[in-house]
Structure 1
Amino acid sequence: MTAVKTLLELPELRLRLRGGGDLLDRRVTRVYGTELPDPSRYLSAGELVLTGLLWWRGPGDAEPFVAALARAGTAALAASGADSGGIPEDLVQACERHRIPLLEVPPDLSFAVIVERVVLALAAGRDAPTGRLPAHAADLPLPELLRLGSAELGLPCWVLAGTGRVVAGTGLLLPEAEPLAAAFSMGTTLDSRHTVLPAGEGFTVPWALVVGGSTNWTNEQHEIAAEVATLIGRRRGSARQHEVERSLFRVLAEGGDLGESFAAAGWPPDAPVRVVLARAGGAEGDLLDELLAGYPVRVLRGRFGGSACALVAAEGWPDDWPSAATRALSTVEPALTADRVLVSIGGPAALTGVRGALEEAVHALEVGAGRDERIAVVPGAEIGVHRLVLAGVSDELRTALRRRVLGPLLDYDAAQHSDLVHTVRVFLESSGSPAVAAKALHIHVNTLRYRIGRAGELLGLDLTDFTNQVDVYLALRISG
């Protein structure tokens, strides 16, 4: 296997490390040269990208170029500044932000020499046997691992999640994958043309490798399929560990400069953010990973308090995500060990308002905890502003405010065995309409007007005034 650090150790290349010293264990699977400002469509994961920086014209050009490398899963960037006066500083900074190892190529070294040495190193790595698959298979991203397994088996392959989601597929017979995923998620037997192997243990939402075609396999095919399933499970576990350890969430919980932390994570400063929280008796991390899998934009995962937490780029957020998440969780409900599964959503908010969106998600989670259903997905947008405002009020302050605003009315009801408090609540919840409130209370409208007038006298307030109505309604809502 060939790692980035192996290339640095080749004396004839004389490569100089300019950034990403903690990422040198990344495996190189191929080499690719480009001078395009945006090479996105031509990139593959695990590549060593070579560039002479002909695309660089000035500060700011590096950001889109390096961002494209990061999205594709590039192993490292090797750049020669022979024609541009050295490596531009914004390229160094962009590689640091997007966590791409940056290697400086000597001005007098031909890229042809680098390509030749990398190809030889890759060939040597593939000649070292580790089971039935090539040695570099353990370092491939999931789609490439699946394509390799499919090629070795000579059969189409898919990875299916217990929620019914198709995690990845080789592209062959893809229309068959959806019903297969549904069958797998329900625990039913798949048809005789497909073989299922569990892929990874210890996850709340199970994954499986499904291989299509004939089930009359050779011993070698059985071993290859088992190895692919094992590698899928390992990759899933290592990805989860990496995301949970992000330092950004420590800053979010403990205080500090969020702008600096977001920049270090490669997050654009002007990108709106949604906050998603999940609580499921210890299984929330797996569940949240599954619910956000395949999301089309940036997602950062970690923990906040006792909940799994995700920061999601708000642009492109699907309107039906809460209902889709509820359906997915309902699919795996029989396999859940937690008594309750709670998910909440806060935002969208600008970077400066992320902590406010987080508070919104926390309160939405508490609303979900108060519901009867076992699975509750609660967007903060569904919660009235008054509930969010009152959520942060202490019990002592609630009691004091309720007594200060409603005290005379409460005393009157207690002494007269009346229910003016209820009458006022219905009146306010009827938008201050005497006719609507009278109908709801099954009394004459004149009786309603008399009671509201009497309540106003006791409170010393005009209950037809909007500001007074807001104060009284909030005091009523304090006690639920």
Structure 2
Amino acid sequence: MATRRTPAARRAFTFPTPALPGTTREIGGDEMRLRALLETDALGLRVLGGQDELDRTVRGVMTTDLRDPSRYLSGGELVLTGLAWRRTPEDSEPFVRLLAGAGVVGLAAGEAELGAIPDDLVGACRRHRLPLFAVNESVAFATITEYVVRQVSGERAGDLAAVVDRHRRLMTSGPTGGGPEVVLDLLGTDLDLRAWVLSPTGRRIAGASEKLSVAAGAALATEHLAATRAGRRAPHRVALDGTTYSLFPVRRPGRGAATAGGVGADVREGVLSDWLLAVEADAGEWAAPRLDLLQGVTQLIAVERDRRDAARTVRRRLAQEILELVQAGAPPAEISARLRVAAPVLLPGQGAAPHWQIVVARVDRQEGGDADGGEGTGAAEGAEGAVGSGPVAQSLLEEILVDPATAGMESGDRIAVAHTGGEAIALLPMPAPAASRGEDEGGGDATPADGGLRADVLLASVREPLAAGLADDGRLTLGVSASVHSAEGLRGALEEARHARRVAAARPGRVCAAGHHELASHVLLLPFVPDDVRRAFTARLLDPLWDYDRRHRAELVPTLGAFLDCDGSWTRCAARLHLHVNTLRYRVGRIEQLTGRDLSRLEDKLDFFLALRMS
């Protein structure tokens, strides 16, 4: 008897042939006609329609129960289905229409699910001239797949068909199919290849038992994103600490690929959300069959990625509903009720969340120039031609909020991110200050005493990869609110996070973040002072000191900064600079003489303080 898989498993996984996405690559040099399936007694297939089309050439095989598998098809496939996608008779027509439009040569439907092939499916196949076969429940789809692969790839390298088929079997067994870990384990055992699936920031999602460090993952992601943005053809080869890695993009089916000499708009949109497969080997030395195998593996992993993203739908919807209530000014009681619904989903087994925090992110793409916005203001979103991408920011924020030292696909269970317009908004529950995240692998505590996230630590380990992916025409800005204890505080937290993000956007750089603690008076105001005013103010106060330091190799500007940091205390400043107090007094006197200011006056101290902050 054939092994019966659950409908969920069928919907979650397909088996694309190992060819590049969007191409119509033949599996091998030999041709196979559809009628050959009827000539093999072991398959036990019965043709139900399309007898006049049995001379079609089969170039691949795919198993699916997705309602719309067209994005995984490149033409020439025999599609195998268990009919779990069919819920009503009306589902057959659109399913068959999509297959015919994608260039599928035939459809084989299993009888195990419904007991017989429904008439509505037979009729739809006849209308679209798509040959239809019935698969007896005693015949496993794996048997048909093996037969097709043998027929169309008779001269192929011996290990390719076996390894790919084992991947397919394990990825489609059980409700989760084993996940990418199973596929990567087989690469190690069958082909002696150590490989890892990495997020766009370099976080390890799956892979060999020998873990990559956070720094190594970030370095590989940086190289991959830079190569993709430069339009170089994959796989990208990278030497890191004496080891060569080959990097393969794990792209969503239907997305285009970067080509030499340019980067398509779809690549630019997706580069910040695509995973990558890092293999510890030099792919430049591989034969074509092995490259085909790795491309097939990336497609299998992409299907698992879609399953993971589908699991996030509930959390995203919860965040969207709560944020819509907050922005609409709904009564606190209504928001509190929705928070009570969300807390068990985001914090399973821990009850209601005592604290909540808001994180706002925006990814801006510059259509007509440099997205940096220049020195000083740097506000990309306000520059002409800047376009915000909410879905890209949503996917990226979900990844940023995961601890970089945390491996696995389900490590973002506490994260609920919505997007509205060009910005992404995360609603983050904090279980309790004592249970908050401790020090990460790169050092530095990511959570202050109130259990909330710190903006400066949040981007520490992902800044370089993200900057490489943004290249010279994009920016990421992020703002973090303080944690709040009730529904009444969420609206203020949202505004606080948005304002902090605007402060970050006013700074130069590709990747910038600001937290609620930075919304002090001078930090709040300085980024929005026009550039010409900032330059004139700092030049009037500090140019004489910089000029004196250059000519006399003195240190008046550092001395001024230390003096202000010590609140004008002579003894503390002298100890900090390892100077005699008289030497310090001499330097301060020289500063006053050159600038015409008096550092005993509060107004002059404040002017110097602002000038140093703006310089």
Give TM-score, length-normalised by structure 1: 0.49
Give TM-score, length-normalised by structure 2: 0.40
Higher relative contact order structure (alpha carbons within 8 Å, sequence separation ≥ 6): 2
